[in-house]
Amino acid sequence: MKPLFSIVLKVLAVLVYVQYIASQFYDPTGEAAAETVYRILDPLLVLGTIVVVYYAYQRKRAVDASSEVAVTREYLEANVVLYFSVALFFGLLWNWVGFQFSNPENSAGWLWAVLDLALPLLFYVTSVQLVKSEE
């Protein structure tokens, strides 16, 4: 399953970056043309973030179970990815619920920008880690 999730996360990362950049050209004034694409993309981002949180938690458990007592690069990477992914997950849920089930103006635009820039980085880093752990 790891190679499949790795491919899915890479595709999601590319889709989000392309959508974020392209929406600045085809919907520069925010007339809701990009809103339709984001309504389709947001549930996929939630699922992708759940996958990232799950594998980041598994990685953190494996690092914590090791016998090393010093702070290593692996320890720092596992903790940063886990806590960063959890924070982005809650931010994504907060904005998505406000956007999807309430008034779209209730969602914070600055948080969408942070999510659109940070989630693809997180997805790509996790997909690379999934490929490495499979070897």
Residue-wise pLDDT tens digits, 71-84: 888 889 999 999 99
Q: Is the confidence at residue 30, as pLDDT, over 70?
A: no
The secondary structure of residue 51, as a DSSP letter, is H
Segment 101-120 shows an average pLDDT of 80
User: Going by C-beta distance under 8 Å and a sequence separation of 6 or more, which residues neighbour residue 4?
Assistant: none
Segment 45-61 shows an average pLDDT of 94
Reported as type and span, the H/E element at residue 124 is helix 109-134
In angstroms, rounded to a whole number, what is the distance separating the alpha carbons of residues 104 and 75?
Answer: 39
Lowest mean pLDDT: which of 16-25, 97-106, 115-124? 97-106
Within 10 angstroms of residue 13's Cβ, the number of other Cβ atoms is: 20
- CA angle 12-44-48, nearest 5°? 65
Total tally of structural domains belonging to the chain = 1
- The domain containing residue 88 runs over which residues? 2-134
